[in-house]
Amino acid sequence: MPKPAREPTFLPLTMAAAGSAADGSADPLARDSAQAVRHRAETANSAAADCWTALVAGCTSGRQTLVDELHHLSMATSQYAGTRWWLSHGSVHRRRVVEAEGRIDEAVRDGDGAEFAEAFVGYDQAVATVVVHVQSRMGSLTQ
C-alpha cells in the first residue's frame, strides 16, 4: 500500500509519554518496559495509518493487523503498569483502555472513518494516561 508523504499520527500522546518514560528512567527494567510500550505504539500507529488509508479508499486490508497491534500495545502497557496495580488501583484505567480498544475494533469492522478517528483519540488518551501515571508513581518511589 502506498504511504502518504506525511503519515498521520494516531497515537501522539502515547508515543510521547512512552518516549519520555523510557528516556527518563534510571531503572533498567522500567526503561526496557517503557521502550517496549513506545515500540508497540509506533507499530500500532503505523498499522493505524495503513488501516486509515484503506478505510478512506473503501478497502478492507490491514484491519486485522491493526486490531492485533492495538492488543499488543495494550498488553505492553499492562506489563509496564504492573499486574498488581493494573488489576487493583489501575482498574479504572484498564477499563478505559479496553473500552477504547473495543471502539476502534467496532469502527474498523463497520468501516466508519469518523468513529475510527474519534475512538483513537480516546484510546491514545487512555494509554498515555496510564504511562504518565505509572511514570509519576515510579518517580515518587525513588524520591
The 10s digit of each residue's pLDDT in 32-41 is: 999 999 999 9
CATH number at residue 124: 1.20.120
Note whether residue 63 is domain-resident. Answer: yes
Q: What are 100-138's pLDDT values in tens digits?
A: 999 999 999 999 989 999 999 999 999 999 999 999 887
Q: Name the pTM for this structure.
A: 0.91
Q: Which pLDDT score is estimated for 140?
A: 52
Q: Which residue has the cell 484505567?
A: 93
Residue 73 clears pLDDT 50, i.e. is over it: yes
Cβ-contact 1, 54 below 8 angstroms: yes
Number of domains the chain is built from = 1
Non-local CB neighbours of 60 within 8 Å, separated by 6+ positions: 54, 111
Q: Are 133 and 77 in contact (CB under 8 A)?
A: no
Separation of alpha carbons 48 and 35, rounded Å: 20
